[in-house]
Amino acid sequence: MIDLRSDTVTRPSSDMRHAMAQAEVGDDVYGEDPTVNQLQHEVAALLGKEDALFVPSGTMANQIALHVLTAPGDEVILDATSHIYNYETGAASALSGIQPHPVHSPDGLLTPSAIEAAIRPEGAVFARSALVAIENTANKAGGRVYSLERVHAIADVAEKHGLRLLLDGARLWNAAVASGHTEAEYAAPFDLVWVALSKGLGAPVGSVLAGTQSLIDQARRVRKRLGGGMRQAGILAAGGRYAIAHHRSQLLTDHKHARVLATAFNNLPAFSVDLETVETNIVMVEVEGSTAEAVAETLHQADIGVTPFGPQTVRLTTHRDISSTDVDTVVDTIHQLYA
């Protein structure tokens, strides 16, 4: 199957598997796994932060960060389409006793003015606005990229009102490639930032959370509380180190493939795509005269996997396991089925 459901479906290459098999390991809960320690040091440097922490998943990275940066009863301002709000099983409320304050943005990207309008006034009856969380790239917005100028403007609002900042950087690698800015430039204003290793970079497991030494010390304690303390985790960390060293340069190819697919779907009367929103490796296809579920089923029968992302929306996500030949096959197939 040509699997465009997500960039999480990538499988480790033979060279990555070799690097994992050869990894030097120790007990990471004791801080003694040299490969984990190397990964953490390398990612902290890439993000311009003092320290970093390897965790099993992006959801855990988000929840650790929320726990560290807030207190029970606090409120986190985020976009209504964000991963934290939609796809983490209400964990912010269940685990940290905080409530989300979703802001509805026309393009799925928070604006400084919308954040400022969402900040609660002082008063005993109000939740305390404590944190702003943004997602770069923004998944449900179609992989759109926050400009560095907007990030700085958001940071200015947060500083003015004494709010802390969290960057969900599940696809920050993609944002950096698309924008030409470094990951460290994007991460600079944020108290905590994390990056995924298991999406576009193609490692099998893991994310890395970065920030000050003090915050990461707190995060390590919360990771243990949540059951995320692993032992000989260097086998997994080695996959992440290999991915960072060898796969980042391939992300631009994924973006080019997404553009080809977006244009092909948009040229068919059965679909429409806002091509201006196709900035990275995610394509949101609007279905005309049918349903997303029906289109997904038809494509599944043709050995093409896509994700229904709403009643009339199908998401395609390119990644390193999708070749140019695969893209050509998808284009030919949709023309046969829908032209």
Could you give the CA distance from residue 199 to residue 26 in angstroms, rounded to a whole number?
26
What is the pLDDT at residue 52? 98
Give residue-wise pLDDT tens across range 134-188. 999 999 999 999 999 999 999 999 999 999 999 999 999 999 999 999 999 999 9
Residue 318 CA: distances (Å) to CA of 14, 170, 259, 299, 308: 20, 15, 10, 16, 15
Return the beta strands (E) in the chain as ranges.
2-3, 51-55, 74-79, 99-103, 128-135, 164-169, 192-196, 207-211, 271-272, 282-287, 304-305, 307-308, 313-317
Give residue-wise pLDDT tens across range 183-212. 999 999 999 999 999 999 999 999 999 999
Maximum alpha-carbon separation in the chain: 63
What is the pLDDT at residue 298? 98
Helix, strand or coil for residue 305? strand
Ramachandran quadrant class, 176 (left: phi over 0; alpha: psi -120 to 50; beta: rest): alpha
First-to-final CA distance of the chain: 22
What is the pLDDT at residue 33? 98
Residues for the chain: how many in total? 339
Interval 52-60 mean pLDDT: 98
Is the entire prediction scored with pTM above 0.85?
Answer: yes
CATH top-level class for 7-246? alpha beta
Q: Provide CATH code, domain 250-338.
A: 3.90.1150.10
* Residue 120: CB atoms within 10 Å: 15
Interval 275-288 mean pLDDT: 97
DSSP per-residue codes, 223-278: HHHTT---SSTHHHHHHHHHHHHHTGGGHHHHHHHHHHHHHHHHTSTTEE--GGG-
Q: Do domains 7-246 and 250-338 have the same CATH topology?
A: no
Residues with Cβ within 8 Å of residue 112, at least 6 apart in sequence: 150, 153, 154, 156, 157
Strands 128-135 and 99-103 turn out to be unpaired
- Whether residue 41 contacts residue 30, with contact meaning beta carbons closer than 8 Å, is answered with no
- Whether residue 257 contacts residue 282, with contact meaning beta carbons closer than 8 Å, is answered with no
What is the pLDDT at residue 39? 98
Domain ranges within the chain, ordered by starting residue: 7-246, 250-338
64 pLDDT band (50/70/90 cuts)?
A: very high
Give residue-wise pLDDT tens across range 295-306. 999 999 999 999
Chain centre to alpha carbon of residue 151: 16
What is the pLDDT at residue 263? 98
330 pLDDT band (50/70/90 cuts)?
A: very high
Give residue-wise pLDDT tens across range 217-254. 999 999 999 999 999 999 999 999 999 999 998 999 99
What is the pLDDT at residue 137? 97
Interval 109-119 mean pLDDT: 97
Least confident residue range of 53-57, 113-117, 122-126: 122-126
Could you give the CA distance from residue 236 to residue 23 in angstroms, rounded to a whole number?
9
Percent of the chain with pLDDT over 70: 100
Q: Please choose, from the candidates 217, 212, 176, 208, the residue with its C-alpha nearest in 3D space to the C-alpha of residue 191.
A: 212
